[in-house]
Every structure is written in C-alpha cells, then in structure tokens.
C-alpha cells in the first residue's frame, strides 16, 4: 500500500520564508559584518567614554576624544615600529644563510630557503597593486564602521527608552540584560586580549634585547600577534627566535628557549588571571576551534571575529534560553 505524504501550506510557506531569509542574509553579509565590528568598537570604548562623561564632558566630545587618542596611538606606533621592522626584517633575510649554517643546515638548503623567501617578497608589489584597487572601498568601510560606532556610543544613554519603544515594556528588561551582558563580555574580551598581546610582546622584546638576540622587534611582534592562538601560538613564536639563538651559540639558544618558557609561565599564572579576569573566559580549546572555523569560512577576517562571534552566540543562548523568568 502506497503511503500518501501531504505537505501543508504552512510548511511550504515556512520553508520558502527560510530560503528567502538565507538569500537576503547572504546579500547583506558585508553590512552585518560592519555592524558587528562597530558593536565590538562600541563595547571596547564605552567604559572609557562613560568615565569621561562623569566629568561633565558631553558624550559626543568624549567619543571624539577617544577616537583622537586611538588615532594618535596608532600613528605613533606605525611611525615608531614600521621603519625598524622593515630594516630588521630585511637584515634577517640577508643573514638567514649564516644562521642556518650555524645550526647545521647545509648552505645549499639555506640558499634555497632564502631564494624562496625572496621570490615571495618579489611578489609583494603585485599583491600591493591588487590591494590598492580596493583601498578606496576599504577606507569607506572603515569610515562606515567608526561612524556607526560613534552613533552607538553617543546614543548609549538613551538605549533603555529606545528599547522600550521597539520591544515594548514587557521585553525591556530582558533586552537590556542581553545588551549589557554582550557589552561586558565582548568589551572585556577585546580589552583583555589587546592588553595581553601588548604585555607579551613587550616582555618578549625586553628578554630578547637583554640576551642580545638580533631582530628582536619583529620577533616580539610575532609573539604578541600569535598570543591570540592558545597553546600553539607561543610555541610557533618561539621557534624562529630559538633557531637564531642557536645560530649564535648553544648557550644563547638555550637562554632564548628559557626566556620564552618563562614568559609563557608568567602569562599562564600572572598575566592571564590578572588581565583576563573580567573577560568572557573562553576555554582555550573553544578558542582554537573558533579560530579554525573562522579562518576556513572567511580567511583573516573570519579569524579575527571568530571568538567574538562565539561569545555573542553564547551570551544570546544563555540570556534568552536559560534565564527565562519563572512563573509561580
């Protein structure tokens, strides 16, 4: 006997609506990304803007001052770091064969390695030319993000009244709780991660300088950037520095390895507990998984926003699903 399967009109309409929603989201994915990054900027800066506003400074002026500080810090960092970074990186490439030979790698292998590095560097101008074509749109995107973040920061004090207008008084408390939790978790993670990367980078630079390791600046920057990757990042950052240390002498190589090990222990038992105590507290395994998925989905951009996206999803699920008010 053939069984007849019937599909209701509601099921068909629901499926069609879901399909249209997915298509619509895919079309505006870049706008959603810009809004999410603006939320991250807002969560990062809001505590500082709120603190300035307590001194009777208008909130708009406080946001402008915060933006000005960011621009000045970035400008100073670029002008102070980029020239020695380029110089030391070029010096490292030219001296790579001697370091490789000192640790027992044949000159043929080291010459081929340098040749490959030079080939990759030779392709950089072409890549820069390609990137220049999209520079204008990237600038517009950056401006749009900061303009949106400026609006969100200046209107933050009016949030409760706006929420009541949009969601109604019944849902007002729940939505405010979700917004406050998101702001606390995302802002805490961003501020904590930036601080941790800076501290590890500075500590690495100081240790390498004391040991007389050349190319300390690029090696320290690598250590700071890779700090975002738990477990694997510190190990990968230590490899080139330790190889350079052994290229100088076995004693310097051992001391360099000990330096990275000491910084790692200080990070685990001092830096992380102190700096990240108000952060979202994402488990390292979850962080690794989020980074891998984010990189697979959207490259570098996905890598950068993967953990904040996970924090957002976790907060939404926690606040909207598990914190339902009980009815007596």
- Which segment of 41-55, 105-119, 175-189, 248-262 scores lowest on mean pLDDT? 105-119
For residue range 72-89, what is the model confidence (pLDDT) as tens digits? 988 887 777 777 777 776
For residue range 225-243, what is the model confidence (pLDDT) as tens digits? 888 887 788 888 898 888 8
Burial of 83 (0-12, 13-18, 19+ CB in 10 A): exposed
SS (H, E, C) 186-221: HHHHHHHHHHHHHHHHHHHHHHHHHHCCCCHHHHHH
For residue range 286-296, what is the model confidence (pLDDT) as tens digits? 888 888 888 88
> DSSP assignment of 130-178, as one string?
HHHHTHHHHHHHHHHHHHHHHHHHHTGGGHHHHHHHHH-HHHHHHHHHH
pLDDT at 205 over 90: yes
């Amino acid at each position: 006997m053939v069984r007849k399967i019937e599909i209701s009109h509601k099921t068909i309409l629901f499926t069609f609506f879901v399909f249209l929603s997915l298509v619509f989201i895919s079309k505006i994915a870049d706008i959603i990304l810009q809004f999410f990054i603006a939320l991250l900027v807002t969560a990062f800066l809001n505590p500082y803007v709120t603190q300035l506003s307590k001194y009777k400074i208008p909130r708009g002026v406080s946001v402008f001052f915060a933006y000005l500080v960011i621009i000045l810090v970035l400008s100073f960092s670029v002008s102070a770091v980029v020239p020695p970074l380029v110089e030391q990186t070029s010096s490292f490439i030219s001296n790579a064969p001697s370091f490789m030979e000192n640790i027992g790698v044949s000159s043929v292998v080291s010459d081929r390695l340098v040749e490959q590095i030079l080939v990759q560097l030779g392709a950089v101008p072409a890549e820069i030319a390609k990137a220049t074509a999209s520079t204008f749109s990237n600038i517009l995107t950056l401006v749009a993000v900061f303009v949106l973040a400026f609006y969100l920061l200046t209107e933050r004090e009016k949030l409760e009244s706006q929420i009541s207008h949009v969601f109604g008084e019944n849902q007002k408390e729940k939505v405010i709780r979700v917004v406050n939790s998101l702001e606390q978790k995302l802002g805490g993670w961003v501020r904590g991660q930036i601080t941790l990367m800076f501290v590890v980078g500075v500590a690495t630079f100081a240790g390498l300088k004391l040991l007389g390791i050349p190319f300390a600046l690029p090696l320290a920057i690598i250590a700071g950037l890779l700090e975002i990757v738990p477990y694997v990042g510190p190990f990968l950052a230590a490899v080139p520095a330790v190889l350079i240390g052994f290229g100088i002498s076995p004693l310097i190589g051992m001391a360099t390895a000990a330096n990275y090990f000491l910084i790692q222990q200080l990070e685990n038992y001092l830096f992380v507990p102190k700096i990240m105590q108000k952060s979202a507290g994402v488990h390292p395994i979850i962080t690794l998984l989020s980074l891998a998925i984010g990189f697979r989905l959207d490259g570098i951009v996905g890598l950068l926003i993967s953990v904040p996206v996970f924090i957002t999803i976790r907060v939404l699920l926690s606040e909207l699903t598990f914190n339902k008010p009980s009815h007596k």
